Amino acid sequence: MIELVDIHKSFGKQHVLDGVNLTVEQGKTTVIIGRSGGGKSVVLKHMIGLLKPDSGKVLVEGTDIARMGDRELNEVRKKFGMLFQEAALFDSMNVAENVAFPLREHTRKKDREIMEIVRENLHSVGLPDVESKMPSELSGGMRKRVGLARALAMRPRIILFDEPTTGLDPVMTEAINELIIRTQKDFNLTCVVISHDIQSIFTVGHRIAMLYDGKIIEYGTPDEIRASRNPVLVQFLSGNLEGPISVL
Amino acid sequence: MNRIAQVIDQFGRSVLRGVEEMGSMLLLLISAIGWMVRPPLKLRLIFKQMEFVGVKSIFVVLLTGTFTGMVMALQGYYGFRMFSAESLVGSTVALGMTRELGPVLTSLMVTARAGSAMAAELGTMRVTEQIDALYVMAANPVKHLIVPRIVATVLMLPLLTVVSDFMGIIGGYFVGVPLLGINEGAFVKNITKYVDLSDIYNGLTKAAVFGLILALVGCYKGFNTKGGAEGVGRATTEAVVLASISILISDYFLTAIMF
């Protein structure tokens, strides 16, 4: 479904991605784990064409989006939904207008139909009574759920989640994980989740990939990852200060 | 020697940065013009910006225009009185307002009020990934965010300048005729005698150009914000400074061409 082939990306002198190879399987949730500032979001932004690689290919359903023009890229983007780290709701619009935005932009549906879809989507993320609220009036967890409702509005085939549970309390974390699992199953979505919340990655992931030093150093099912002897992965999962990942 | 080389190096770098920035701004303008002519026109967004840039700036422009006209009349009176030409105060105020002070002061006030807000708003949208969200939803941010601001500012600046010109002349009249005792007939007659329609048109054309400059600079700085809250603050300051300087410099060249 999505294939990253030998992606290299630098920002100034900083070489962030150093030959990333990763295949995201259709209808599965792939979780990318790795250190903070290690380039996970950069990988995700390549998948949807927000960043272009210095070299390498980003294949979405077999087509390289890294070489596409804006118009073609926009057509590909319609297959995607994305939940940003801080939800990225438009703060000049209320919740309903935020969720309705992609529908107003890309469909010719009447206002009544759009509002029905908005209500349905907000209901599916457990937020039935917030339509007229502004994003600034919502808690972090609510904002993320509205962000998910907006990402789902166009019924995408692929959803990208950028640290969906960061900064949330344990109960809200579990609620968001549950939502990811449910929506993935209900709509048979292909999901890519970025996370460093160890509990969440094993809850939501069908496949887990570890990004370290600009490369994917380990990839497998949750059981394979748990059983891995790779010292970097072992240290990352255990949260040990001693090991190949030097922090202090 | 090394020191001199360093200074030259620094100077060269800042010149290159300036040229690069001007080039990027020009590219942004070309892209905005491209999106401007491509339907659908986002009329609702344009009207919203027209309200913000135009309607909500009326009060500040009104005050600025009135007091500028008043002070010009006061200063002009003391000067013209020396050779008994007080009746020229009206035409001086009117010419000064329509040709220069109306468009320039209005643009500077709108830069401070709306240009800074454009940079801050777009800058915040950039650092909170709202602009990325637009890209992800296959909605072009230039069309949604920049085109409405540029169109609204270019349309509203001349209208605000009309308000400023009018209030300046009224302010001048108020100080000149009732307060300083200049003959009313001479005051008004000299305005109609010395002020051409072209003075007003050219002033309004200037205002439209200044509107383009302030909106483009505000949007460019906001759109290219980097680095959190500090970055937004920096972008806002840079937008106001650069737009104000650009308005004053371009005013000289426009005046040289027009009058």
| Tens-digit pLDDT profile for residues A155-164 | 899 999 998 8
ipTM attached to this prediction: 0.89
DSSP run (H or E) holding A19: strand A14-24
Residues A87, A93, A96, A100, Cα dihedral to 10° = -80
Whether A125 and chain B come into contact, CB under 8 Å, resolves to no
Whether B138 and chain A come into contact, CB under 8 Å, resolves to yes
Q: Is the Cβ pair B129, A106 closer than 8 Å?
A: no
Q: Is the Cβ pair A101, B135 closer than 8 Å?
A: no
Instruction: Tell me the C-alpha to C-alpha distance, in Å, between residue B125 and each of A2, A163, B185.
Output: 28, 19, 55
Whether A88 and chain B come into contact, CB under 8 Å, resolves to yes
Divide the 259 residues of chain B into consecutive groups of 10 and give the mean pLDDT of each group. 88 92 94 90 92 95 96 93 88 94 96 96 95 93 95 97 96 93 90 92 96 97 92 95 96 91
pLDDT at residue A102, rounded to an integer? 93
| Rounded-to-integer distance, Cα A133 and Cα B166, Å | 42
Domain boundaries, chain B: 42-258
- Tell me how close the Cα of A241 comes to any Cα of chain B, in angstroms: 29
> For chain B, how many residues are written?
259
| Rounded-to-integer distance, Cα B243 and Cα B240, Å | 5
Q: Where in chain A is the domain with CATH 3.40.50.300?
A: 1-79+157-248
Whether A71 and chain B come into contact, CB under 8 Å, resolves to no
A1-79+157-248 CATH, one of 3.40.50.300, 3.40.50.970, 1.20.120.420, 3.40.50.720: 3.40.50.300
Cβ-proximal residues to A32 (8 Å cutoff; 6+ apart), any chain: A22, A40, A43, A44, A192, A193, A194, A195, A208, A209, A210, A211
Does residue A69 surpass a pLDDT of 90? no
Q: Across the A/B interface, how many CB contacts are shorter than 8 Å? A: 48
- Can you tell me which residue has the tokens 């020697």? B1
Q: Is the Cβ pair B130, A90 closer than 8 Å?
A: yes
Q: Which of A47, A54, A58, A77 is closest to A161 using CA atoms?
A: A47
Residue in chain B closest to A73 (alpha carbons) equals B138
| Tens-digit pLDDT profile for residues A96-151 | 999 999 999 888 899 999 999 999 989 988 888 898 999 999 988 899 999 989 99
**CB contact at 8 A, B238 and B121:** no
